[in-house]
Structure 1
Amino acid sequence: MTGAQLALDLPFRPALGAADFVVSDSNRDAVAWLDRWPDWPGRVLAIHGPAGCGKTHLAHVWQARSSAQFLTTADASVLPHRASVILEEIGDMVLPQEKQVALFHFLNRLREQEGYLLLLSQVAPARWPATLPDLASRLAAIPAIAVAAPDDKLLSAILIKHFADRQLTVSDDVINFLTRHIERSFAAAAQSVAAVDRAALSSRRRVTLPLVREIIGRDSDMDQDA
């Protein structure tokens, strides 16, 4: 391959058993709060932000430290003493009354059992459309940290890492082009690199800017047709 990797002054840190994790301005506050664990007010923390901003990645970082388990519903019966749990995307729409009651009891049980909870959602818990007053009050008291969509430095670093994982070294022009033209999300970075790698293998071409232009343009045309 020709070209050198893009040099970025970004701190890479191990994700404690998960993939390498990159800290940038878009997620720095959330990382700092995760580092404070177990010193969380009320033993609960919420991380919120748009889809694809890396919330789940952050949760896996914390899971490796805390041995937390992911839950799909607020079920108080699965909370042993001092349990650490992660609830994802449960409050972004109006919850039925019975689910609001279940979540309220879940939070009470968590407090009784001295457990820890990481909530992940697109909006802060204080803005969840809870109609149960006691639950709304409890949600408003949860510390909520925003994670923004990846900035240019973070998105570039993620792209470089995905190419490196595939043992590909690409030029600065390729990284810069992708950073400007793909959706600003972790998922889009992974999907774009995978698409470029497949195209390079199938056509037996090197990963160059002309190839990347072809692939990204092709994907954009497919999105418009859809």
Structure 2
Amino acid sequence: MDIRIRAAGSSDRGRARRTNEDAFGFDLDRGLFIVCDGVGGRAAGEVASRSAVDCVLSRFPHSIEDFNDAGFELQRAIHVANRSIRAAQREEAYAGMCTTIVTAHFDGSRMWIAHIGDSRAYLLRRESLHRLTDDDSQLVQILRRDPLRLSSADAASLDSTLTQALGASDVVVPTVTMVQVQLGDCFLLATDGICKALSNSDMLSLLLASATPEQACQHLIHAADDSGGFDNATCIVVTID
């Protein structure tokens, strides 16, 4: 199909944090997009997130012979980023640094998505917003086993407890999702400073009201800030038309 792909990204410190530990990057020529969130409370979260973005940008191939390998290549780039962060942790200043990651690759007809942690991917299609990733959190694990045992207080605490992050262990297991793309699709990659500050209906309304990816990013960032700005807020918006 004849398509045009457009993308924009934006990041904001928010109102409550002293530093911005989020990072993002993309390469339209390769259809590659990355959003990372340095884990709060850990040393040098901003270093971990920037390192992960740069690593995926540098390690993901410029061409893929078999398009079915795109998911594998995303996984491999994430594993390399994890090893790089683990190696950097040997320096005292970087000990314990971690980051989440959500990354996507558009191969011309499909969007491949891989993630670790609680940065998320969404698809806007025909005026409906669909979440494409499940958080790597203790809350999600328990909800899968026994959703009735949770109180609202427990849920709030467990939601912020990650079961995976880059740099947290020697081995990470990225989850890979693939979506057949349609003309008119809009993809959102976002840190929890956006997707946990805003409801699905809020994000849907803001995306529908935006004429360009740049405008969508601005609307989402401003809305997250207006909701309290309790966390760094970062997003990439990709449109296929």
Normalised by the size of structure 2, how large is the TM-score? 0.27
Give the structure with higher Rg (CA): 1
